Amino acid sequence: MSQSEETTAQNPFLTNHDRRAIHLAGSIQPHGVLLALNSQLEILQVSNNTQQYFGKATQDLLGQSLDSLFDARQTATIKQCWEKNIGSVSSYKVAIITNHQEQFFDCIVHRTADVLIVELEATASNSEISFFSFHGLVSDAIAQMQNTANLVEFLDLVVTELRKITEFDRVMAYQFDGQGAGAVVAEAKQEDLPPYLGLHYPETDIPIESRELYTRCKLRFIPDFNAQAVNLVPINHPITHQPLDLTLSVLRGVDTCCVEFHQNMGVRALLVISLMQEGKLWGLISCHHHTPKYLAYEVRKICEFLGQIVSSELAHKVSHSEWDYEVKLKALQSELLASISQADNFIDALIKPEIRLLDVVSAAGAAVCLDNEITLVGVTPNLEQVQSLIEWADTQVRENLFYTDSLAKLYPDGIVFKDTASGLLLLRISQVRRYYILWFRPEVMQTVNWAGNPNESIHLDVDGNVTLGPRKSFAKWQETVQLTSLPWKKSELDSAIALRNAIVGIVLSKADELAKINLELERSNRELSSFAYAASHDLKEPLRGIYNYSTVLIEDYAHVLDAEGIEYIETVVTLSVRMEALINALLRLAQLGKAQLRAKATDINELINQVIDIFYASRQYSQVLDIRIPRPLPTISCDAVLVNEVFSNLVGNALKYNDKAEQWVEIGYLDAAQQQTGENSAPVFYVRDNGIGIPEHHRETIFRLFKRLHSQEKFGGGVGAGLAIVKKIIELHNGQIWLESNVGLGSTFYFTL
Ligand code: ADP
């Protein structure tokens, strides 16, 4: 990896002070001369290579005025630079008489707080690059850049154009992530070189200090890593004794670690251009060459200028690509919501197609949990692991949206499934029920493309000392990114929240709908019972008339009718009696529909005694009544009048549908222990007989109104409403009724209240 020009942070033996001091190198690269001047333009410090460039000894220049090198016009120009802002850089062509010859230089001048730094790079000609050749170099590139459709295409074009201009072997665009790590996102290179495109690099490769330098100084050029550095004389400012701030120096010396880093990779020359977005370092363009390569200052300026154009276009392209991504998420979201709102099966709507649920937040796996039902999608931990994770979330997570890119650090059990779920995004749909959507992302080490082998660059020197090369930082990164997934982006979190809001909205509106339907149902139920009540009530009167007139016919007009006529009228009487019974039953049921329970503590023993007394009173049963009550019955809260009706009906049926010579009825109850349920279970009452029994397929239908299993003549007739009324009363008590029966042997009706 070449992006790191300053790699001091890779070397753990350097102190923090050293790490901060990379801009205070105290030396320059040998392809030029550096002079530090005071406001009188007296030379305070100079690089120790003036003999080579000017034919003058360094010591002879110290303390001298700039006049001793430059002519008056040139000196006057330089003097003006004192008036400029700190940090602003100016460049001129100058001619200096060296060894009686005129030599041209590119003269690059900038101010620090207390000195003027003048840097001189030898150049062959005195002429500035013409506007036309400059225009020729950049105008095409700029025009094409503006036409690219997306960020990737744009950066591809940038590196290609820059490679054309610089003629370096490899030109790469490198993008930082939020944490300072980054990846090669575009590359133009000589064909036979191995590709670096897609490789990721740790934050430590380009530590914060270097990133700050790149933020301030937008172009860095090192024509030859093997070149011998040239010290400044004296090394510190002669009055302040402070080292010279070389942040903006074009000749700034190269950190030894950086030299080794690039030498290891076979890189001899390097050009780095900063890419800025909204004042922050977005990335770098890094150019490598495998032999020494000098680029004229003008060409470097063109590259820097292009860098600025790229930076300004970048904001637009980046926001465009982020926007594209957001649009994609939004489209997925609304598609998902449309399916959820239309579907009957919520889970199906969420997970079909599976990829949509994953893409909506760019996850590799997901789990949808509705109470105990968990559905897994994509690459996830196993079901048991997800269950435990949800149990953990149940107690530990209060927020509706929870996310981490390092689950194992919060949930140590998660370490076993770090490969699939180092990242977790959890959406709590309900505060009361266990409704969750979980999304998972794998550990980043599983997903990114590694840049090289960490051991490759650890060397032993002749003394057996370990030298740390560039890839040492890689190992360090491995430590820092362990158990970590790619971070969740804001747009992805927004997408999850929008999904939650929509789901809650849909669920709520469905609940509203249900409540409305319930209300409507209640209203129509009420209307129906009123109608049934009114109808049956009103029917009784004409029926009475039919009955009365028919009896009068039989009693007073029997003599005018023949036997057949009398038989017909007798049938009318029987039928109207039966019809009255039916209407009464209907009326009773309608009344029950409107009934309010009058519940109070009722001793069921007493209640049963009243029921039995009525049966004794009726002549029909007095002889044969064998009613057994094996143990005293409990006292419970119920509507005594209605429960009396329940027992009367059940006991009546038990006696009625019995063909045995010795009939018996048993009334009892099962307590909680006998039911083998919880301690608080209500008693289950039963009425048992040794009667005819009820075939299996009729055990539901007998509770329907007017449903009878026998003809009128058999078992003393009946209207078939008794059990419907019983069921209604039990339901009014929020109870249930069911039965067991053996045909020919008897039946047991059970109920709760
Ligand atoms: P009804 O007794 O007026 O016919 P019910 O609603 O009370 O109406 O009973 C419906 C039917 O269920 C009866 O016609 C009878 O066939 C059957 N049935 C009810 N109780 C018993 C029982 N204890 N043993 C056998 N059959 C029964």
Residue-range domains of the chain with CATH: 7-21+130-228+253-321 (3.30.450.40), 25-123 (3.30.450.20), 329-446+481-506 (3.30.450.270), 507-592 (1.10.287), 596-751 (3.30.565.10)
Residues 6+ apart with CB under 8 A from 562: none
Angle between helices 563-594 and 490-557 (to 10 degrees): 150
Q: Is the CB of residue 62 below 6 angstroms from any atom belonging to ligand 1?
A: no
Higher pLDDT, 59 or 616: 59
Residue 311 clears pLDDT 50, i.e. is over it: yes
Q: Is the CB of residue 722 below 6 angstroms from any atom belonging to ligand 1?
A: yes
| Nearest alpha carbon, ligand 1 atom 1 | 720
Handedness of CA 148, 154, 156, 158 (dihedral sign): positive
Helix (H, G, I), strand (E, B) or coil at 210: helix
| Nearest alpha carbon, ligand 1 atom 11 | 708
- What is the spatial distance between Cα 598 and Cα 611, in angstroms, rounded to a whole number? 19
Residue 12 clears pLDDT 60, i.e. is over it: no
Which atom of ligand 1 is nearest the CA belonging to 654?
A: 23
Neighbour order of strands in the sheet with 116-122: 27-28, 230-233, 43-47, 33-37, 116-122, 101-111, 89-98
As given in the structure block, the two tokens for residue 379 are 């690459």
| Nearest alpha carbon, ligand 1 atom 12 | 702
Which atom of ligand 1 is nearest the CA belonging to 689?
A: 23
Residue 100 clears pLDDT 80, i.e. is over it: no
pLDDT of amino acid 20: 45
Neighbour order of strands in the sheet with 627-628: 627-628, 665-670, 684-689, 746-751, 737-742
Q: 627, 657, 699, 727: which to mutate for ligand 1, most atoms within 8 A of CB?
A: 657
Handedness of CA 134, 135, 141, 145 (dihedral sign): positive
Q: Is the CB of residue 708 below 6 angstroms from any atom belonging to ligand 1?
A: yes
How far is the centre of ligand 1, averaged over its atoms, from the C-alpha of 532 (Å)? 23
Confidence of residue 625 (pLDDT cuts 50, 70, 90): confident
Which atom of ligand 1 is nearest the CA belonging to 707?
A: 10
Residue 454 clears pLDDT 60, i.e. is over it: no
User: What pTM, to 2 d.p., does this model score?
Assistant: 0.56
Q: Is the CB of residue 37 below 6 angstroms from any atom belonging to ligand 1?
A: no
How far is the centre of ligand 1, averaged over its atoms, from the C-alpha of 584 (Å)? 18
pLDDT of amino acid 617: 77
Q: Is the CB of residue 648 below 6 angstroms from any atom belonging to ligand 1?
A: no
pLDDT of amino acid 10: 33
Residue 404 clears pLDDT 90, i.e. is over it: yes
| Nearest alpha carbon, ligand 1 atom 8 | 720
Stated as kind and residue range, the H or E segment containing 741 is strand 737-742
What is the arithmetic mean of pLDDT over 14-39?
A: 74
Backbone φ/ψ region at 734: left (φ over 0), alpha (ψ -120 to 50), beta: left
Q: What percent of the chain has pLDDT over 70?
A: 89
Residue 629 clears pLDDT 90, i.e. is over it: yes
Confidence of residue 19 (pLDDT cuts 50, 70, 90): very low
What is the arithmetic mean of pLDDT over 54-81?
A: 92
Q: Indicate the average pLDDT of the chain.
A: 85
Residue 592 clears pLDDT 90, i.e. is over it: no
pLDDT of amino acid 3: 38
Which atom of ligand 1 is nearest the CA belonging to 709?
A: 16
Pick from 268-272, 277-281, 723-727: least confident: 277-281
| Nearest alpha carbon, ligand 1 atom 20 | 653
* Pair 117, 107: CB distance under 8 Å: no
Pick from 17-21, 237-241, 331-335, 437-441: least confident: 17-21
Q: Is the CB of residue 6 below 6 angstroms from any atom belonging to ligand 1?
A: no
pLDDT of amino acid 2: 37
- What is the spatial distance between Cα 281 and Cα 212, in angstroms, rounded to a whole number? 8
How far is the centre of ligand 1, averaged over its atoms, from the C-alpha of 641 (Å)? 21
Which atom of ligand 1 is nearest the CA belonging to 708?
A: 14
What is the arithmetic mean of pLDDT over 530-557?
A: 87
Which atom of ligand 1 is nearest the CA belonging to 720?
A: 8
Q: 653, 689, 719, 745: which to mutate for ligand 1, most atoms within 8 A of CB?
A: 653
Higher pLDDT, 319 or 73: 73
Please name the residue that has the structure tokens 């990335």.
283
- Burial label for 483, CB within 10 Å (0-12, 13-18, 19+), is middle
Q: Is the CB of residue 645 below 6 angstroms from any atom belonging to ligand 1?
A: no
Q: What percent of the chain has pLDDT over 90?
A: 48
How far is the centre of ligand 1, averaged over its atoms, from the C-alpha of 657 (Å)? 7
What is the arithmetic mean of pLDDT over 2-6?
A: 38
What is the arithmetic mean of pLDDT over 513-520?
A: 81
Q: Is the CB of residue 702 below 6 angstroms from any atom belonging to ligand 1?
A: yes
Pick from 231-235, 514-518, 607-611, 749-753: least confident: 514-518
Q: Is the CB of residue 709 below 6 angstroms from any atom belonging to ligand 1?
A: yes
- What is the spatial distance between Cα 143 and Cα 137, in angstroms, rounded to a whole number? 11
Q: Is the CB of residue 358 below 6 angstroms from any atom belonging to ligand 1?
A: no
pLDDT of amino acid 451: 53
Q: Is the CB of residue 723 below 6 angstroms from any atom belonging to ligand 1?
A: yes
